[in-house]
């Protein structure tokens, strides 16, 4: 099966993802803004059974806007977050779309938390926009 590999900046932490993501979301929530250091995150979700994590990571567990835990896994050397787990969707692993560094990666079909969107950020055409979570 076709696989894509998401990596941290230094390359030691990798998530090898088989097949296509279950869903891809553009998220404007403040947590994604802080996680990425950018003004939104693009989050790809793969079935857990289709993801193989390689390399060492540290994790950080926080509460989501909906009150459930989200645990991000980041490289202890370079600090990049590569993937995360969500209490509300334990069968999938979230992977930072930018970590694939693949301009042909599938586009997000929905944008979440547009109420937190930086006002000068345009959304891709054809995307469904949601003021909170989809």
In the bound state with Zn ion, the residue whose beta carbon lies nearer, of 15 and 75, is 75
Q: State the Cα–Cα distance between residues 34 and 129, nearest whole angstrom.
A: 21
Query: Where in 29-48 is the site for Zn ion (CB under 5 A)?
Result: 29, 32
Residues 3, 66, 78, 101: which binds Zn ion (CB under 5 A)?
78
Is 75 within 8 Å of 10 (Cβ atoms)? yes
8 binds Zn ion (CB under 5 A): yes
10 binds Zn ion (CB under 5 A): yes
Residues 15, 24, 26, 27: which binds Zn ion (CB under 5 A)?
27
Question: Among candidates 52, 74, 42, 55, which has minimal Cα distance to 3?
Answer: 52
For the bound state, the minimum distance from the C-beta of residue 75 to Zn ion, rounded and expressed in Å, comes to 3
Helix (H) or strand (E) holding 70: strand 69-74
For the bound state, the minimum distance from the C-beta of residue 53 to Zn ion, rounded and expressed in Å, comes to 13
Chain centroid offset of residue 110 CA: 13
Residues 81-104 as b/e (b if ≥16 CB within 10 A, e otherwise) read bbbbbbeeeeebbbbbbbbbeeee
In the bound state with Zn ion, the residue whose beta carbon lies nearer, of 8 and 17, is 8
Report the interface residues with Zn ion, using CB under 5 A.
Answer: 8, 10, 27, 29, 32, 75, 77-78
């Amino acid at each position: 099966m076709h696989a894509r590999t998401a990596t941290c900046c230094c390359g030691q932490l990798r998530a090898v993802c088989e097949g296509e993501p279950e869903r891809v979301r553009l998220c404007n929530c403040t947590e994604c803004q802080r996680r990425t250091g950018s003004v939104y995150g693009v989050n790809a979700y793969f079935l857990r059974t289709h993801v193989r994590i390689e390399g060492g990571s540290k994790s950080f567990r926080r509460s989501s806007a909906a009150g459930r835990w989200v645990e991000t896994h980041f490289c202890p050397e370079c600090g990049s977050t590569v993937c995360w787990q969500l209490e509300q969707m334990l069968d999938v692993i979230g992977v930072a779309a930018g970590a694939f560094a693949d301009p042909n990666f599938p586009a997000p079909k929905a944008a979440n938390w547009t109420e937190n969107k930086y006002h000068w950020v345009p959304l891709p055409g054809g995307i469904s926009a949601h003021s909170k979570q989809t």
